[in-house]
């Protein structure tokens, strides 16, 4: 737009306003007006929203000088030549109501609301070539689900639910435990690429959710927690914070040189860890599927032949693969699927057991006695 304005390609203000409204909108925040500007992101291959303070936006608009088409500058009077240069800021302020929105949502059919979601990177096909997906599906079933049919079905449905419902939260997260080099990363990297315009593939610090600079998780439907650092060195602290991240429908965004704002929390999360006890879980936990991933293949000095397997797997991740996988997940019938009905696994039982407090142990040991009632004399 700046180039068009400088070259005198616009004939009138209406044309400028039309172009500018495609790039810039504003809406009322809790404490200040929020300005959102669209820019092309080559990494995502799409338009991305950037949130700016009013002063920053005005400075950018002031740099766009307006020269209207067919206006002969040599016919200007001396007074006109000395007059102030017309800029996009002047036109923006003059037509402010045309840039106003009611608010911002990840996805909305209301034209008065700024919508973040555009479309997925990969298109849906008419038919599915299951052959090109087989290695990946086998990885999920044999390694990630460790051969457990219930877990395998849940994982496929969970991913399908997320993709078929952009902007909604499953309110359930997966924990993938297992040795290094067995394929956990190759599994999750595919999901991150499938949702690449709206995914956050490598979070290693919980401050990226709750800290001062957490806009990285805004408008993301999928996030990977990779060996996340403990919150105040406490696994219980991580669990407490993550309960809110998994369940809450909003998240407060704090970012340097950006307006503070409340955004929709649309994240669906997978933890990836090599640790035996990555996080503490409550006895009645309803938020986590815990998978003890099986070592079917592993790249080590002793198992060099498995390198060929992983090379073949990685080389299959091409455009055709992703389009077929996207179609596969879009066509899974999830009408009867409830993400919060999570299969109990032995790995989850073990994690709950080691997470129990001494008080929990006493209650569990004397549960029947407590249920029947304990006399005051016995307590004393």
Domain boundaries, the chain: 2-115, 130-361
Q: Rounded to whole angstroms, how far apart are CA atoms 256 and 36?
A: 15
Q: How, if at all, do strands 250-253 and 261-264 pair?
A: antiparallel
- Closest of 220, 218, 219 to residue 253, by C-alpha: 218
Tell me the C-alpha distance between 51 and 35, whole Å. Answer: 6
pLDDT in tens, the chain (380 residues): 888 887 888 899 999 999 999 999 999 988 889 999 998 888 777 888 999 999 999 999 999 998 887 665 444 444 455 467 889 999 999 999 999 999 999 999 999 999 999 999 999 999 999 999 999 999 999 999 999 999 999 999 999 999 999 999 999 999 999 999 999 999 999 999 999 999 999 888 777 777 677 888 899 999 999 876 544 456 666 777 888 899 999 999 988 888 989 999 999 999 999 888 888 888 999 999 999 999 999 988 888 889 999 999 999 999 999 999 999 999 999 999 999 999 999 999 999 998 775 555 555 555 566 666 766 555 55
Closest listed residue to residue 289, CA positions, set 342, 240, 236, 225? 342
Tokens of 138: 């086998």
Q: Which residues contact 330 (CB under 8 A, 6 or more apart)?
A: 124, 160, 163, 164
Query: What distance in Å separates the CA atoms of residue 251 and residue 215, rounded to the nearest whole number?
Result: 10
CA distances from 251 to 2, 19, 245 (A): 35, 31, 8
Q: Which residues have CB under 8 Å from 371's CB, separation 6+?
A: none
Regarding the domain delimited by 130-361, which CATH topology (the fold level of the hierarchy) does it fall under? Rossmann fold (3.40.50)
Q: What is the Cβ-side half-sphere exposure of residue 171, based on CA atoms within 13 angstroms?
A: 10
Is residue 201 within 8 A of residue 368, CB to CB? The reply is: no
């Amino acid at each position: 737009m700046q180039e068009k304005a400088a070259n005198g390609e616009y004939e009138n203000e209406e044309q400028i306003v039309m172009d500018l409204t495609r790039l810039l909108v504003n809406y009322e925040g809790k404490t200040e007006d929020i300005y959102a500007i669209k820019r092309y992101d080559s990494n995502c291959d799409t338009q991305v929203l950037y949130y700016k303070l009013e002063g920053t936006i005005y400075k950018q608009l002031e740099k766009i000088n307006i020269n209207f088409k067919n206006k002969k500058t040599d016919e200007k009077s001396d007074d006109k030549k000395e007059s102030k240069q017309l800029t996009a800021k002047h036109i923006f302020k003059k037509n402010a109501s045309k840039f106003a929105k009611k608010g911002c949502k990840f996805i909305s059919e209301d034209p008065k609301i700024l919508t973040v979601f555009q479309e997925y990177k990969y298109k849906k096909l008419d038919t599915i070539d299951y052959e090109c997906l087989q290695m990946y599906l086998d990885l999920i079933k044999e390694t990630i689900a460790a051969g457990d049919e219930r877990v395998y079905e849940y994982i496929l449905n969970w991913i399908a639910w997320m993709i078929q419902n952009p902007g909604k939260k499953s309110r359930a997260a997966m924990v993938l435990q297992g040795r290094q080099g067995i394929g956990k990363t190759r599994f999750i990297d595919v999901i991150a690429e499938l949702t690449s315009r709206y995914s956050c593939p490598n979070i290693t610090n919980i401050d990226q959710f709750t800290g001062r600079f957490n806009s990285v998780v805004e408008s993301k439907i999928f996030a990977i927690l990779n060996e996340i650092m403990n919150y105040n060195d406490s696994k219980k602290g991580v669990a407490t914070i993550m309960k809110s991240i998994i369940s809450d429908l909003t998240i407060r965004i704090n970012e340097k040189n950006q307006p503070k704002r409340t955004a929709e929390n649309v994240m669906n999360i997978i933890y990836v860890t090599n640790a035996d006890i990555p996080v503490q879980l409550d006895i009645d936990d309803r938020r986590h599927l815990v998978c003890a991933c099986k070592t079917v293949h592993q790249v080590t000095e002793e198992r060099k032949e498995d390198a060929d397997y992983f090379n073949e797997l990685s080389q299959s991740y091409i455009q055709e693969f992703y389009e077929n996988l996207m179609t596969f997940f879009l066509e899974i019938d999830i009408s009867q699927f409830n993400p919060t009905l999570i299969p109990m696994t032995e790995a989850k039982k073990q994690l709950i057991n080691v997470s129990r407090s001494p008080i929990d142990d006493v209650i569990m040991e004397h549960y029947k006695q407590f249920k029947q009632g304990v006399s005051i004399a016995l307590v004393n």
